[in-house]
Amino acid sequence: MNDAIIFHFPPELMNLLVQAIPRLFRSKKDVLLFFHGAGVESAMLKDLALRVRQDRDSITKYDIVRTVLTRLNDAGESALRARREVLKRVVEFEDFSTCYADDQLTAQGLAANIRDLVNAKDTITRINLERERERDAARQRRREEQEAEYQAIKERKDELASILSELNALCRESNPQRRGKALESVLNRLFKQQGILIREAFTLSGIHGEGVIEQIDGVIELDGMVFLVEMKWWHEALGRNDVATHLVSVYSRGDVGGIYISASGYTNPAINDFREALREKVVILCELREIIRLLEQEANLTELLRSKIRAAKVEKQPYLLAL
C-alpha cells in the first residue's frame, strides 16, 4: 500500500474515513474495538472509552473516529503501522451486515471511494517510482559512461607516456640494428593506439627461391588510403639511396602512398626524389623528433599526418616539419 498516503492521511482521505468508519459499526464500543484491533495504542483510546462509559451521549461515533484519526496523524511515524492497518481494514471490509440497514449502501459507497482513492494514489506512486527508477538508471548510465570515458582517456595518456618513455630509452641503445627494430615496434604500437595500424612489419619472399626481396616496416590506413611506412634511426641524414627502396615499394603497388620516418633527417637529394614522386604518388617525410614532440604535448598523430598529406597534395611539399 502507498506509504505516502498512510504516512499522513490527506484531507480527502481523512474526510472519507470519518464518514465511513462510523457507518461500518453499530455501536461506539464496536468503533473503539475496531481501532484497538488495528493496533492503535490504548493511550489514544483510553479517554474516549471513559467518556463512552460515563456519558454515552457526550460523544458520537463520528467524534471518536475523527479524534482517533487526528491523533494518529499527529503521532507521525510512530503511528505509521496503525494508520496502515486502519486503512487496510476499511479497504478490505466486505461484511456490511454489521452496519445499520440504512447505512449499508452508504458505507459500501464510501468504502469503494476510499478504495478507489487509495488505488489512484498507488498508481500515481508507482508511476512516480518508475520514473524515478528510470531517472536513477539514466544517471547511473551517465556515471558509467563518464567513468568509462575517463578511464579511456587515462589509459590513452598512460599508453602515450609509455610509448614516449620507450622512445627516449632508445636514445641510449648503441646497437643500430636493435635500435631500428625497436623503433619499428614502438611506432607501430603508436599507430595501433591511434587506431590507424593495419599491419606491423612483414617481409616478402621471391617466388623462385630468391629469399627476402622486400621488407615493410608497417602499413596504416588514413582516411581510406593505405600507406606503407618505413622507419630508420641512423646517425646521418638519409640520402637518395637510403629512401629509394621505400619509393620502389610504393611504386610497385596500386593506390598506395608512402610515409618515411627518420631519426636523423634527410639530404636535399632525398627530399627532391620524394617531391618528384608526388607527381604520381602521395609520399611524405617525417622526423622522429616531430613524433616525440607530439607525444610530449599529448597531441594527435592522425592530425599531424593529415597536415603533412595536405601539404604534399596541395603544395607539393613532402617535407613539412611540424615543429
Confidence check: pLDDT of 126 > 80? no
pLDDT tens digits, residue range 238-258?
999 999 999 999 999 989 999
How many angstroms separate the CA atoms of 313 and 80, rounded? 79
Q: Residue with C-alpha cell 627530399?
A: 271
What are the cell numbers at 112?
A: 469503494
**pLDDT at 281 > cutoff 50:** yes
pLDDT in the model for residue 98: 82
Angle (CA) 246-248-253 rounded to 5° is 105
Contacts of 267 (CB under 8 A, 6+ apart): 237, 238, 239, 240
- In this prediction, what percent of the chain has a pLDDT beyond 70? 89
pLDDT of res. 249? 92
Mean per-residue pLDDT, 120-129: 54
pLDDT of residue 2: 47
CA 187 to chain centre: 32
User: pTM for the full model?
Assistant: 0.56
- Of all residues in the chain, the percent with pLDDT exceeding 90 is 44
| CA atoms within 13 A of residue 28's CA, in its CB half-sphere | 21
pLDDT recorded at residue 211: 47
Closest to 263 in 3D by CA, of 162, 167, 197, 161 = 167
Task: Tell me if 230 sits within 8 A of 262, measured CB to CB.
Answer: no
Query: In the predicted model, what is the mean pLDDT of residues 97-102?
Result: 87
Return the pLDDT at 153.
85
| pLDDT confidence band for 1 (50 / 70 / 90) | low
Grid cell locating 157: 595518456
Q: Which three cell numbers stand for residue 310?
A: 595536405
How sure is the predictor about 228, in pLDDT bands with cuts at 50, 70 and 90?
very high
* pLDDT tens-digit series, residues 21-66: 999 999 999 999 999 999 999 999 999 999 998 887 889 999 999 9
Which grid coordinates belong to 228? 606503407
| Cell matching residue 135 | 531517472
As a whole number, the mean pLDDT across the chain is: 86
Of the pLDDT bands very low, low, confident and very high (cuts 50, 70, 90), residue 137 is: confident
Q: Over 80: is that where the pLDDT of 303 sits?
A: yes
Cell of 260: 618515411
- For 27, 34, 53, 57, 186, the CA distances from 31, given in Å and listed in that order, are 7, 5, 14, 15, 87
* Residue 121 confidence (pLDDT): 66
Q: How far apart are the first and last CA of the chain?
A: 71
Mean pLDDT along residues 100-126: 79
d(CA 40, CA 86): 9
pLDDT confidence bin for 124, thresholds 50/70/90? very low
The DSSP symbol for 173 reads -
Cα–Cα distance for residue pair 160/190, rounded to 1 Å: 7
65 closest CA partner among 86, 88, 93: 86
